[in-house]
Chains A and B, each alone.
Chain A
Amino acid sequence: MALDRIVAPVIKDAIDFNIQLKPYQKFSLDNGVEVYAYEGGSQEVLLVDMVFYAGNSFEQKNWVAAATNFLLKNGTASKTSFEITDAFEFYGAHLNRTCTNETATVTLHGLSKHFQEVIPIMGEIISEASFPEKEIAILKQNQIQRLLLNLKKGDFIANRLIDEYLFGFDHPYGKYSVEKDYTAINREDLVAFYEQYYLNGKCVIFIAGKFPSTMESLLNKHIGQLPLNKKEIKEQAHPIISATEKKYSIINDAASVQGSIRLARHFPNRHHPDFPAAQVLNNIFGGFFGSRLMSNIREDKGYTYGIHSYLQNYKHAGAWMVSTDAGKDVCKATIEEVYKEMKKLREEPVGEDELKLVKNYMLGALLGDLDGPFQIISRWKTYLLNDLTEDYFYNTIKVVRSVRPEELQALANTYLKEEDFYELVVY
């Protein structure tokens, strides 16, 4: 019998998969710092993620949180910046720092067999960071140069401005640094921030991978004796002050051959009951390669290399964002097409077939996203830091499986309205 290449092989619908979020183990160090652990994986590697409540929403001066986070490993009472990095790298370990709105992290990736050699240095930078003047000066200088370079890029400008329009420049989600913020920082600012938010700060730890048998005792010895989690760290409330004007067109570079387009509206955080169904609607709209925006604007018209929509889910507030870089002569047409796609979602229910495809795609992708110890702990980290439980996970799956076209249409009528969107093109 000839092979039938027309008819697709029988598939098992991903909506019928039994998708589980594997549970974490939890223990506490002597100082009360909680450690969430997921052990497993095929390689002898591990990840230790120390999360401090030291994000930029705690700073009084712009850039203090990020600079403190960055410079943590650039000198301690007894080691130079080079000696610290060299010590990590000698053992094939890598220490990353990241500063976000609410939290700032210090993350170690390394070989399991060398954990005992590197964890003492990790403890040292948390407890003895010294912020040498010279390191601060070099960082400032390089940061200013990096900024000069970034300011030449339309997409960089667009990302900053759209957040400012949405949240206001005085809100942690809307602010950004300018050159004078870098020059205005001094060592006292950093030391004060470090003492309050790291040395005596609030910390939670996430670990994953293959652990040495002494994992818990090593963490206890090097982290568990630090004066962490003694004081309450209060999150401040920041009012959102959105721009009144909705449409912007900015020329950053007259010779630019493309425009960076951002369309965005406010959207609630993950705790809002509309959130899971909105994720389904977002996928249909512009959330994956087969989305309507991609199919229309890239695959049918060729206006852009890529166009995406996403729910920007910060802890306390969020946004629904459409983002693309399009040819200069087709920016206007691109924006019109985005609005057309919104209108279609408002006026016509999504077809059963398209909806089923998106549901299967989302759940198949979720299954893939949960593959591996780092992926599992990363999802738990997101949930725990956003005050969510595993109920959120299972509820999202339930909604994705069951949501109906008319519910999505109702959502589109609530959220995908042209007049609610800020519109920005940076050329």
Chain B
Amino acid sequence: MIQFEKFQLDNGLKVLVHQDTSTPMAVVNVLYNVGAKDEDPAKTGFAHLFEHLMFGGSVNIPVYDEPLQRAGGENNAYTTNDLTNYYCQIPAENIETAFWLESDRMLSLAFSKKSLEVQRKVVCEEFKEHYINKPYGDAWHKMRSLAYTQHPYRWMTIGASLAHVEDATMEDVKDFFFQFYRPNNAILVVTGNVETEQVKKLAEKWFGPIEAGKAYVRNLPKEPVQEKTRSMDVRADVPLDMLMMTWHMGGRFDEGYHATDLITEVLGGGTSARLYEQLIKVKQIFSSIDCYHFGTVDPGLLVIEGKLVKGISMAVAEKAVLEEIEKIKNEILDAKEVQKVINKTESVICFEDMSIMNRAHSLAYYELLGDADLMNKELGMYQRVTPTMIQHTAQQIFQENNRNTLYYYSKS
């Protein structure tokens, strides 16, 4: 049970406080309700590029990192398709430094030309390092554009192409900032050795004077129900054939969400999971295989991907995966297998909640979903999943017309 208190400033900034006096540290986490899905299709990669620009100096503070490091703090950030999250960990005694820094960059960035020029290059190198100069690095670009035709999940956070990042202008940067980086579009979470009263005072002092922006009304195109199975062949200079399949699944609020999460555990969670045992160990068709999903807010994808043992044909591999899929659709799980994946989930939640950093991330994320207290209800949601619900959800998701397949062949 993670206890927290919650209040809101007049400018709309939501603030959550979780106290833990056993640590000398504090975490200050600012989540902005903007992700790659909010980008203009002609200017993708922007939310992520922005994450870089947020370290290039703000209106009153030329550099972000130095004063934080001087106060003994560390920081980082990440961007997903749904959100952008900034966080710093700092000795609790110096927490005001984090408020000063975070509030100034919410007030306004410095919009330095040099920072934009350099960070465009840095992001291009990041793009090359992770998506070009890496075997199968383009697989997810291809899969996303295959599986989604309308919804902005069709591009990755790094951007649909290098050109979009290279072409970003200062005008674009300013527009993006003042549209999304406003207090009424953000959630501030403070965890660690802090008092709520102290956080209230600091939040009022540093974030209170920032003007609210125009409310952001998210109106994203819905992905139509897929009516026919889709596939794509890729040939590349990779050593092994890879098979990647995805099926559309419900979003974070879908009633089948927790059952879906458990399906990925049954199939792909660890070395006692079905795909590993059957396809790597018993049949030796794959040398590696995974099943997972991204837990996206909007309807997402359930993924199975694996590398084939050399000499095995794509058709044989595909058939073997589909046999496992048929099994989970047609045969009800025994109670013990369901109990296993629930126990595993309980364990994952306990381990995640060990650090004040993760607790801050989770509180911010669940507050974004609508209520931070969902964090404490999550395990209960899993515990209520029954074998019948799993089977029912599997039957809904694993339909042939709902499938997208990438046949990624080795040229050699």
Query: A residues engaging B (CB < 8 A)?
Result: 3, 5-6, 8-14, 17, 40-45, 81-82, 85-86, 88-94, 109-111, 114, 138, 141-142, 145-146, 148-149, 151-154, 253, 255-258, 288-290, 298-305, 325-327, 356-358, 360-361, 363-365, 367-368, 371-372, 374
A85 near B354 with CB under 8 A, answer no
- Contact of A146 with B287 at beta-carbon distance under 8 Å, contacts A257-B133, A367-B25 already known: yes
A303 to chain B, nearest CB (A): 7
Question: 11 A-B Cβ contacts within 8 A?
Answer: A5-B103, A8-B97, A111-B350, A145-B309, A152-B238, A257-B128, A301-B118, A302-B122, A364-B74, A367-B72, A371-B23
CB within 8 A of B71: which of A44, A92, A257, A364? A364
A377 to chain B, nearest CB (A): 13
B24 to chain A, nearest CB (A): 6
B344 near A92 with CB under 8 A, answer yes
A89 near B135 with CB under 8 A, answer no
Interface flag for B172 (CB, 8 Å)? no
B10 to chain A, nearest CB (A): 15
Q: How far, in whole Å, are A363 and B90 apart by their CA atoms in the complex?
A: 11
A159 to chain B, nearest CB (A): 15
B389 to chain A, nearest CB (A): 20
B26 to chain A, nearest CB (A): 10
Nearest A residue (CB) for B346: A92
Chain B residues, CB < 8 A from A86: 272, 340
Chain B residues, CB < 8 A from A290: 65-66, 69
Q: How far, in whole Å, are A240 and B80 apart by their CA atoms in the complex?
A: 46
Closest 8 CB pairs of A and B: A364-B72, A302-B121, A92-B347, A14-B72, A148-B239, A9-B96, A361-B69, A85-B272
Interface flag for B353 (CB, 8 Å)? yes
CB within 8 A of A149: which of B121, B129, B240, B344? B240
Q: Binary interface profile of B, 82-121, with partner A (CB < 8 Å = 1, else 0)?
A: 0000000111011011011001100100000000011111
Chain A residues, CB < 8 A from B284: 138, 141
B272 to chain A, nearest CB (A): 4
A91 near B343 with CB under 8 A, answer yes
- Contact of A364 with B354 at beta-carbon distance under 8 Å, contacts A152-B238, A290-B66 already known: no
Interface flag for B61 (CB, 8 Å)? yes
Q: Binary interface profile of B, 13-25, with partner A (CB < 8 Å = 1, else 0)?
A: 0000000101111
Q: How far, in whole Å, are A289 and B73 apart by their CA atoms in the complex?
A: 12
A258 near B346 with CB under 8 A, answer no
Q: How far, in whole Å, are A256 and B237 apart by their CA atoms in the complex?
A: 11
Chain B residues, CB < 8 A from A90: 336, 339-340, 343
B25 near A45 with CB under 8 A, answer no
A371 near B355 with CB under 8 A, answer yes
B272 near A82 with CB under 8 A, answer yes
B91 near A94 with CB under 8 A, answer no
B94 near A11 with CB under 8 A, answer yes
Q: How far, in whole Å, are A327 and B284 apart by their CA atoms in the complex?
A: 39
B346 near A111 with CB under 8 A, answer yes
B90 near A8 with CB under 8 A, answer no
A201 to chain B, nearest CB (A): 24
Chain B residues, CB < 8 A from A356: 70
B138 to chain A, nearest CB (A): 12
Given pairs A6-B61, A8-B97, A17-B91, 18 additional interface contacts (CB within 8 A): A12-B93, A14-B72, A14-B91, A17-B24, A42-B353, A43-B350, A43-B354, A82-B272, A89-B343, A92-B348, A142-B288, A154-B133, A302-B122, A302-B125, A326-B125, A364-B91, A368-B91, A371-B25
